[in-house]
Structures are given as C-alpha cells and as structure tokens.
Amino acid sequence: MNLEPSDDQRLLRDTFARFLDEQSSMARVRAALPSGFDKALWIGLAELGAFSLRVPESAGGLGLGLLDAVILMEEVGRTLASGPIAETLIAARLLARLGGREALLRQVTSGEVVVGVAFHDLAAEPKQWVAGGAVAEAVIGREGDKIVLLAVPEGERRGEPNLASTPIAQLRLGKPARTVLAEDPQGRAIFCEAIEEWKLLTAAALAGLAREALRLAAAYARERIAFGQPIGTFQGISHPMADLICDVDGGKYLTWKAIRDIADGAAEAGAEISLAAWWNADAASRTVSHALHTFGGYGLTTEYDIHLYNLRAKAWPLALGDPERLLEQAGRRLYAGERTHLPDPGAVAIDFDIGAEARALAEEVDAFFRKNLTPELRAKAHYSWEGHDPGIHRKLAQARLLFLGWPEELGGREAPAYARHAAYHVWQTHEWTTAPMSVAGMVGSIIRRFGSDELKREVLTRIAAGEAICSLGYSEPKSGSDVFAAATRATRDGEGWRIDGQKMFTSGANIADYVLMLARTDPQAPKHKGLTMFIVPLKAKGVEIQPVHTFQDERTNITYYDGVGIPDSYRLGEVNQGVKVMSASLELEHGGGFGPVQKRMVAAAEEFCREARHGGRPLIEDGAAQARLARASAHATLSELLALRALWAGVEKKPNLAYGPMAKLFSSERFLEDSSDLLDLAAPDSLSKREGPTGFLNQCYRHSQGTTIYGGTSEVHRSLIAERALGLPRTRA
C-alpha cells in the first residue's frame, strides 16, 4: 500500500504550491474581482506547463497522469486560483485527442486563449452556463451525435455579478459558428471521458479548498479570546471541525481511489467518480459554512478571507448543476447498470492494495472458518462477546491464527500490520466476533511490555494458548469515558494488594478469566498521578458479576470487587504510573472502525431492495432507493479509506495526527446514520428480527447505537482529533 505521491509528483506539487502562494495570494484573488480571472496568473500557470499537463506528448504536451492533475488541483483549491483551470485542463486534452485544431491547442496551452466546455447537450440546451464563459473565445460541446467547437462572439462574453465572482457566463450557443471535431462513437467517448475527468479535478480542488478553510478557522480559533479563553477550547467550535476534517480527508482519498480503480479496471470506478464529486461538494459546503461561523461576525465581512472560500466552495461544483444529481447518477451506475466512458488515468503511484502476503493470510483464515464453523456455530455467531466459542478460540490459537502479530514463541506469526488487517476482516466477513481476540491480544501485549515474569508465566501463556480471555476494567458508574477519574481502590495488603470498588460496562466479564483494571493507589495524588494498572482474576474471591442487558442483544456487566486479593506480581508497571500503561492500552484500542459491517449492511439492504417491490417493480429500480444505497456505500468506502490511512501511517511511522480516532469517529457516526436510513428504506419489513437481510438491518440499527460510545465516545475522539490534527487547544479542563 502506498498513499504518498511519487517523488516527481511531490516536486510538481511543491513547484505549483510555491507559485500559487505568491501569484494567487488572497491579495491577488481579491484584485481579480469582480471578473474572477487573473490574466498574469493564467500566463504564469501556462509557462509552468499547467495546461499542457494532460495533453499527450504526441500532441506537444507533458503527457502526465490524472493523479498529477489532481495534485495540481488540490493546490488550486487551497489558493483559490482565479480562472477556469479544471475546465481548461480538459479542454486542452480534448483538442489534442480530437485533433485538427493544433494552432488553437497551442494558444490554449500557452495561456493566450481560453476555451470552455459546455457540460450539457447543446441540442437540448443551446443556452447554458459555462464556467469561464465570460473569458472564453470558444466552447467545446456535444450537439446530438457531434462534438463541436463553437466560436463565442465577443458580445456574448459578458460577465455578470454572481455568487463567487467567477468568470461564469450564460452563453447562447445555438447560433455561433461551429466546427465539427468528431461525429463518431470514439469522439463522443472522448468527450464523455473529459466530463468524468472534470468531476475528479473539481473534487480535488474542493478537498484542497476545504482543508485550507479548516486551517484558517483553526488558526483563528486558537487566537480569538472569548470569555477569557481561546474559542478553540469550546467544543461547539472544535468538535464540528473534528468531524469535518474526517470528511475532507476522506474526500481526498475517495478521489484518489477512484483514479486507482480506473487504472485497475474496477467495476465500481464509474460510480466512484460521481461519488467523489458529490461527496467533496457536500463536504466542502459544510466545511466552509462552519469555518465562516467560527469567525463570527468577522466572517461576514469582506475584509476577512474566509468568505472567499465559502462562496467558491459552493460556486465551483454548481457549474455542472445540482450536486445531488451526482449521487443519483452514482446510484444508477451501481444498481441500474448505467455505464460511462472513463478517462485514461496514466501512471498511478497511489496504491490501496495491502499486498500478496496479506491476501495469503486472509485466505488461510477464511479456510479455517469454512472448515470449522458448523451450522450450529454459525447460528451462535454474534458481533458481540455473546458470539464467543471457547473451542473455536483454542483451535485458532493452535493454528497460530489468534494473535497474528505476536512472536512465534508465543504462538503468533509475527505477521505485518497489513496482513493482520486483512485477516481480521475475514473474521467479520464470517460474522465471527473479534471482541475476545482483540481484548485478549491487547491485554497480552500490555503484559508482554509491563508484566512481571510471574504474570507472563501464569497469565500470558494461557492467553497465548487460547485458554484464557480478558475483559477491560476501565469505566466506572460515575466516570464513564473519563477513565482517569477511577475511584476503585487498590491498597497494600502485606506483599500484595486489596482491590475494592466497582467497574461498569465490563463487557465479557461473565465469560472472561481476567480483567485489566485501572485502580487508584494514592487518593491524595492529583487525578492522573495516583493510578496503577493491575491484572485481576475474575474467579477470585470477592468478585461479583452482574449482567447489564442492552437492546443491541449484547450483554455487558457491572463488576464488584470486595476485598479481592492479588499478588504484587499482578501489577503492571510502576506504582502510581498507571497512566503510562493506560495510555499504551488506549493507543492499542483507539482506531479501526466499522467499515466491514457497514459494507455488509449495505449488501443486506441491496438484497432486500432486489426482493422487495415498490409501485409494481423491484425497489432496486427506484431512483430514490438507488441514491440512498449509493450514499451508504460511499460512507462505507470512506470508512475503509480512513482506516487504511491510519494503518498505513502506523506502518510508515508517520506523525500521529489522530488518524486512528478519525477512522473510528467517522465510521461509527456514519454507521449510526446509515443504519437508521436503511432501516427506514426497508420498512415495515425491517421491524422484524426474523432471519434474513431485514433482520440484519434491524440488528445493525441497534448495534450502531453503541459504536459511538464504546472504544472511546465520539466526543472523546473529537477532542483528540481537534488537538492533534488541527492544533486546537485542549477542551477538557
């Protein structure tokens, strides 16, 4: 897997970034108003080869790939570069590929002439809005079966006041002189490819724009003082920013994935193009709105730059029309067999493939489950601890498939992160619970790092053999996610310790052997200083476990500890240094996401829609249903991409910018949103818990409610993201 552009692409990005920082400064952007076109900037871009980027070498261009153009457009969006750049990139490529207009092509790539593109069939809409139409000397469009070049009379090139002061114009294209560039299927296909390319270029520009708007808002929130503190400490400001940075980053990677999938010939590539354009338009719109709101009344004034981002985020995608039409189009491409012509992406350095080693291990795990999961065990399967089976757990350990990253002497495979990721996805494909494995693996890793030799002999060896599982004793009735407020006491008792107190939401404690517990060892010390971590046997005298049942068909527990005695060897780390151990365990817990179950949920909804009837025909043929399925599918893909980014960043030792919490936050919140929507879509059948797709949708709706809570609530993750990814001040006093 590789999520970094090539060296040449980084050089290209840096070159254009330096140029645009100087030539498309906010002062220059303002100076270009109201026309929204900066001729000097335009010539400078041409001299750097911007408009030759996608022109084939055989036609005198640079012949670079679509990803190169997308990288340029991210910088264009960041700096709000003035002029129809995306449109000119595709117009130049169209002229080169259709041929016969070499002189005009040279004028376009040199910046002397602007040629626009009409997005809609001129035969049906001879009068239409053209991005850059106010400065374009010609327009390329489709007119029925022909691809034509129309000269735009100077009198028609009239700009008018518009939302973002861009050089858009409504042109009457029915009468101007026209030259037929093509009238065959190949020419029409080339034009169609150009429109698809424009969607990706604009999506990239919107991602760059939105990220810069968030940067500006975060910088302001760090400096602006209200009620005696920076407004960035207010969760009403910082938490929406945390959500939005997930959306914006996800949109960037969705655009990149569409390009990768075009190169790989993936069936869903055409739908991904429309989804990337729709998602980035929507995410940018929401982002700039909150960014402007962060500036308060100042954001409304023309003196502050943020309003420029706000207006262009809306204006750029609307040149094509209502962005929701893109979602509908994606639905048709996914579920109604609509096909389109895809642009040639050229070389693509980005790769989301986790590799042959990962696939091989995933296949081995898949073979294990196919062999060992009997019909009775499959009927018992459940996403929660309730699906645990001790026999399968031991067999997994014997096959060295339980703790794949552990060393061989502990029964592991020392498998790399990508292979572990692929293997654990197989668990979820078979709907086999990962909770006991994940928690036991985390506890075992903590013991390996902080445990005594005795603890390793007595507990770690049992965990490794699949003979023992563990639960987590973090939350308490009065502290919840504030785990460092633990009140459960650990006091010295001779050579050992006495544990007194209670823990809440100790999931799995009813079937587990041990609990990883954070206890207070110095009540007089500051909140974070007087804590120590222990391993506590759950079969010990003085432990009481009471069930807490949830509407998710998932049992959790409240656990009571009354004079529970443990040896000092069951302590993890130094006394009163539990925060250090706890931080390591939280780092192991935070992250991941619910992408796999989201994908299964969408598949179940698709299955239902193919079986159900609406208006006398299958529901899957209904455009509204297709759009809703497409939206949920997009969210599942975005969840997967953010999780892969977190995985890749860990492998490559990238700076920790809360990528794990971003993946978990986004996927859990979208799982919650989509499970509700798809439950509605399948109603009233989805009210039943009967087996089948609607019963699974019913379960997903109930399951999703907890995903925003356990593993760290969404609010905790939002604070982490605001601080690490956006540099905002702490929001917890």
pLDDT of residue 589: 46
Number of structural domains (the chain) is: 4
- 574 and 645 fall within a common domain: no
- 137 and 185 fall within a common domain: yes
Residue 412 lies in a domain: yes
Q: How far is CA 716 from the centre of its chain?
A: 18
- 695 and 632 fall within a common domain: yes
Domain that holds residue 647: 595-724
- Kindly give, in sequence order, each residue whose CB lies less than 8 Å from that of residue 561, ignoring residues fewer than 6 positions away: 488, 499, 500, 501, 502, 503, 536, 542, 543
- 160 and 33 fall within a common domain: yes
- 77 and 169 fall within a common domain: yes
Residue 241 lies in a domain: no
Q: What is the pLDDT of residues 599-643, one digit of tens each?
A: 999 999 999 999 999 999 999 999 999 999 999 999 999 999 999
Q: Is the pLDDT of residue 481 over 80?
A: no
Residue 25 lies in a domain: yes
Average pLDDT over residues 28-51: 97
- 650 and 604 fall within a common domain: yes
- 43 and 182 fall within a common domain: yes
- Kindly give, in sequence order, each residue whose CB lies less than 8 Å from that of residue 206, ignoring residues fewer than 6 positions away: 77, 251, 280, 281, 283, 284, 313, 316, 317
pLDDT of residue 518: 94
Residue 242 lies in a domain: no
CATH of the domain at 671: 1.20.140.10
Residue 224 lies in a domain: no
Q: What is the pTM of this model?
A: 0.96
- 46 and 170 fall within a common domain: yes
Residue 317 lies in a domain: no
- 607 and 571 fall within a common domain: no
Contact 721, 249 (CB under 8 A): no
Q: What is the pLDDT of residues 346-362, one digit of tens each?
A: 999 999 999 999 999 99
Residue 515 lies in a domain: yes
Note if the bond before 693 is cis, omega within 30 degrees: no
Q: What is the pLDDT of residues 550-561, one digit of tens each?
A: 999 999 999 999
pLDDT of residue 585: 62
Q: What is the pLDDT of residues 114-128, one digit of tens each?
A: 999 999 999 999 999
Tokens describing residue 184: 């065959």
Note if the bond before 684 is cis, omega within 30 degrees: yes
- 602 and 577 fall within a common domain: no
Contact 218, 292 (CB under 8 A): no
Residue 114 lies in a domain: yes
Q: What is 469-499 written as a DSSP string?
A: -EEEE---TTTTT-GGG---EEEEETTEEEE
pLDDT of residue 586: 58
CATH of the domain at 43: 1.10.540.10
- 57 and 149 fall within a common domain: yes
Determine how many CB atoms are found less than 10 A away from the CB of residue 398.
12
Q: What is the pLDDT of residues 417-455, one digit of tens each?
A: 999 999 999 999 999 999 999 999 999 999 999 999 999
pLDDT of residue 140: 98
Which of 583, 604, 622 is the endpoint of a domain? Answer: 583
- 601 and 515 fall within a common domain: no
Which of 174, 189, 204 is the endpoint of a domain? Answer: 189
Distance CA 336, CA 616 (A): 17
- Residue 695: pLDDT band (50, 70, 90) is very high
Which of 375, 409, 433 is the endpoint of a domain? Answer: 433
